[in-house]
Amino acid sequence: MKSDFSFDALVSTLEAKDLGRRDYVVDSKLMNLDDNMETIYVGGSLGREFNISETMHTALATRFKIPSQYYFKCLKADPRLLSNHVQHWMNDSESDHMIRTMNGTARTILSPSYRIMDALPLIKKIAPIIEASEVLSGSMSCGMHGGYVYINYATNKTEAIALGDEVAHGVSLRTNEIGLGSEQVAPLVYRLVCTNGMIALVPSRLNSAYTVHRGPRYSSFGDVVDITFDYDRECANTAHYSDVTEKFRDMLSDDYQDRAMEPLRRAAKIRVHLPKEEDDRDRFFNRMRRHMSISSEEMVDVIDVAHRERKDAKRKNLTGWDIINGVTETANKSESIRRANFLQRAAWKLTEDDFAILN
């Protein structure tokens, strides 16, 4: 698996960033953009200017329903025009906005109903579980990208799904601090034969934990309110983190491992009978692609990997296991964590109906 940090380094990095975090709810009339779209001024009782980050640009486009392609074209070609557009829609709205900042830079702009559930408190809660686990060498993957914080790791409990193809059971934690995704804790499997450490998140029926960042609505009271430290929110989050920690612990149990491996055992036994005619084969692949909601280019990669898996294992026919590995390796190559996460789950759509789409 790709990794940016060791676990300890990830915690240290998050601790350092947390010191510079400030969150505000702002009346829409108190925000002003500069002509170059490089800074945003928050007036009222705060009276402070913040640099605009790349993620803030994405959030501005999303918040004010400006098409992303148009937004970033204007940002490059005519930032003053874009500033006027965003300023108009920002000041025209009657609602408040939440602005998350760090060390003088605006990270994102969100609904005042956004529930702040940052990664650091949760990671500190699960740290003793990870430290007590027998972590499989090379399986720990930690990182931060585009507001996402993630931890993937597997234990040394392994099982041979196919001849010479062992997988280990583990857990994946992913969360996003700037409104681009939910908090997710899910079991995963880790293929030992893959030098890139491919992972595959398991089906929703195994009770993966998803939490949307939505909570009570804050009010600016016509000014600016600093919500960095909110006792009621922290009490609610502490209870939530405890629940998630128990779910995390349960996912490492033998029972969870058995349930996670069962779809893979079935996949290895299912033979994929490809149509002989090229047109029929194309229709077959398009049907599979639509079922998993992946692109044509991704489908080509999936089939190429699946055939390579079949040849390496010296199997006559493709199997469901080959298809799963094709999708998850394609996910591993994705530069977008959001897309990789989607693709890893797409493979498991096949297991939800016992691979009926393949035959």
330 burial type by CB count under 10 A (0-12 exposed, 13-18 middle, 19+ buried): buried
Domain extent listing, the chain: 270-358
Q: What is the pLDDT of residue 1?
A: 45
- Per-position pLDDT tens, the chain of length 359: 455 788 999 999 999 999 999 999 999 999 999 999 999 999 999 999 999 999 999 999 999 999 999 999 999 999 999 999 999 998 877 789 999 999 999 999 999 999 999 999 999 999 999 999 888 887 888 988 878 899 988 888 888 988 788 888 888 898 999 998 888 888 888 888 775 555 655 555 566 677 889 999 999 999 999 999 999 999 999 999 999 999 899 888 888 888 888 888 888 888 888 787 888 888 888 888 888 888 899 999 998 998 998 898 888 888 888 888 888 888 888 877 778 878 877 777 777 665 666 66
**pTM value?**
0.81
Query: And the tokens for 16?
Result: 């350092």
Residue 205 has a pLDDT of: 57
Task: Could you list the beta-strand ranges (E) of the chain.
Answer: 21-27, 31-33, 39-42, 48-52, 96-102, 105-110, 141-145, 148-162, 165-176, 183-191, 199-201, 209-211, 224-226, 271-272, 318-319
The string of pLDDT tens digits covering residues 274-304 is 787 888 888 888 888 888 888 899 999 998 9
Return d(Cα 60, Cα 110) in angstroms, integer: 9
Look at residues 80, 26, 63, 64 and name the one whose alpha carbon lies nearest to residue 48: 26
Amino acid occupying residue 76: K
CA dihedral 49, 109, 180, 23 (to 10 degrees): 70
153-183: pLDDT as tens digits: 888 888 898 878 888 888 889 899 999 888 8
Inter-residue contact 79 to 36 (CB < 8 Å) = yes
Q: What integer pLDDT is reported at residue 194 of this predicted model? A: 73
Predicted pLDDT of residue 165: 86
Confidence (pLDDT) at 2: 52
Measured torsion, CA atoms of residues 88, 94, 100, 106, in degrees rounded to the nearest 10: 10
Handedness of CA 297, 203, 11, 111 (dihedral sign): positive
Q: What pLDDT does 50 receive?
A: 98
Is the CB of residue 42 less than 8 Å from the CB of residue 108?
Answer: no
pLDDT for position 352: 64
What are the respective helix, strand and coil percentages of the chain, to the nearest 5? Answer: 45, 25, 30
DSSP 320: H
